[in-house]
Amino acid sequence: MDDRLLRLGIVGWPLEGSLSPSIHRCFIEQTGLEGDYRIYPVRPGQLSSRLEELGKRGLTGLNVTYPHKIEVLGLCGRLSDDARLAGAANTLSRRRREWWGYNTDVDGFARAFQESDARGPVLVMGCGGAARAVALAGRNMGLRCRVFCRRPETWGGECPSLPLDELPANLAKEEGTLVNATPLGWADDDVPPLRADRIRNWFFFDLNYNPNWLWRNELRRSGLPGGVQTGLAMLVYQAAESYRLWTAKRPDTGAALSLLRRKGYR
């Protein structure tokens, strides 16, 4: 086995349509390193055994996506401050025969947020690993943040959590940024539990990047005054930070974004 080769990948379920291989292969090429980035579908309940197997196979690093970002914490030998504070990890690095966990979603969301027209306060739909990263990023940026989900008692991240049915009333009180951190939108015909007219002048920051989500595309066509943005930039920014952790090299995020936009992602 050649230890100089990067052996990278992503674990999650499902992984059809993941853009991470395209992003990281772009990074590998531009930084002049050798290796590959592959997808490793891992069903719920199989994460522990799969990570052990991949570690023995010589994987250099892994990204972790839905639904494993919270469970993976208990499988790491060490955790970064962001992973510990967020209560979720999306990046693993193989060191000393164990996995070390990091959360690059926090910095990825903050950078994308600051480059957009988004503004506080921040209301978040969802209570999984992505929502936890958004909440921690919001706190780090000094923004007031609240989370809305079907089971607020399961929330373990920063900021208060409230029942999802209280979201419309909160949207009516003020203006800011509404973040979709749920799995809704990965299917083209998904409809969130919220009428579009409730958003009004809020900026809609959708963490998913499915270019065919009918509901979000209709928001864009309607000219939502607050603005609409997908999670594409966040995806690339968090990937670049993962790549830096693995290689100590900072890749060009502009090249990866241009590549994905040529493929029809926005």
| Per-domain boundaries in the chain | 6-104+233-262, 106-232
Cβ–Cβ < 8 Å for 224, 199: yes
Q: Measured on CA atoms in the order 133, 179, 229, 70, is the torsion positive or negative?
A: positive
Specify the residue for token string 């600051």.
114
Residue 100's identity, in one-letter code, is W
- Give the chain's residues under pLDDT 50: 1
Torsion of CA 23, 24, 28, 31, to 10 degrees: 70
Residue 86's identity, in one-letter code, is A
Cβ–Cβ < 8 Å for 135, 144: no
Residue-level pLDDT at 214: 96
Cβ–Cβ < 8 Å for 98, 76: yes
What token pair was written down for 132? 């936890």
Q: How far is 153 from 130, CA to CA, in rounded Å?
A: 17
DSSP 21-35: HHHHHHHHHHHT--E
What is the architecture of the domain spanning 6-104+233-262? 3-Layer(aba) Sandwich (3.40)
Residue-level pLDDT at 149: 94
Residue 98's identity, in one-letter code, is E
Residues recognised as catalytic: 69
Is CATH 3.40.50.720 the right assignment for the domain spanning 106-232? Answer: yes
Question: How long, in residues, is the chain?
Answer: 266
Q: How far is 51 from 37, CA to CA, in rounded Å?
A: 16
6-104+233-262 matches 106-232 in fold: yes
Segment 149-172, tens digit of pLDDT: 999 998 988 799 999 999 999 999
Residue-level pLDDT at 1: 44
Q: Taking the model in full, what pTM does it have? A: 0.95
Q: How far is 160 from 24, CA to CA, in rounded Å?
A: 35
Residue-level pLDDT at 193: 85
